[in-house]
């Protein structure tokens, strides 16, 4: 399995026995006519109920997020952007990494990581709860998003 390594700024292959799965299920069904504000609140509420800062066990976190409801492709893309942004904010510690200067996102990560460039840049330049992780988002078995390309 491939994972994003924010410390070494590369994609790492990790054996499945070293992976700790965290399932986040959205209990409420999402309607296609939901407002962006209501959707953002729904995402933040679901993440607030999830214990993201589990004790470090040496395992690599893999967040599996399941969505249900009336979700079309455009709604799914919006959800993915909101969820990855909100998850990044929850994982980031507001303390800079020990680097000489602010780094831009390396090209090797742009080719393999599907996340907003600005969010990824923040995660590279600030410390986070985990330096290695991955995220998978599914909706009704119709749409699948993986943070890191397999």
**What pLDDT, in 10s, does the model give residues 97-144?**
876 567 788 888 988 999 989 999 988 888 888 888 999 999 988 999
SS3 content of the chain, % helix, strand, coil (to 5): 30, 30, 35
Domain locations in the chain as residue ranges: 2-140+142-146
**What pLDDT, in 10s, does the model give residues 59-86?**
788 889 888 888 889 889 988 988 888 8
Residue with tokens 């709860």: 129
Residue with tokens 């990044």: 88
Closest-CA residue to 48 (of 24, 79, 72, 66): 24
């Amino acid at each position: 399995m491939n994972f994003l390594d924010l410390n070494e700024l590369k994609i790492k292959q990790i054996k499945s026995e070293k992976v700790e799965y965290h399932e986040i299920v959205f209990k409420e069904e999402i309607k296609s006519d939901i407002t962006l504000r209501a959707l953002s609140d729904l995402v933040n509420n679901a993440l607030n109920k999830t214990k993201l800062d589990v004790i470090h066990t040496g395992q690599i976190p893999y967040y599996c997020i399941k969505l249900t409801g009336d979700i079309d492709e455009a709604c799914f893309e919006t959800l993915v952007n909101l969820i990855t942004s909100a998850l990044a904010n929850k994982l980031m510690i507001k303390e800079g990494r020990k680097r000489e200067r602010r780094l831009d996102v390396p090209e090797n990560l742009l080719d393999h990581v599907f996340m907003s460039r600005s969010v990824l840049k923040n995660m590279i330049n600030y410390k986070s709860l985990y330096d290695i992780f991955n995220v998978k988002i599914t909706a009704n078995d119709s749409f699948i998003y993986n943070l890191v390309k397999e």
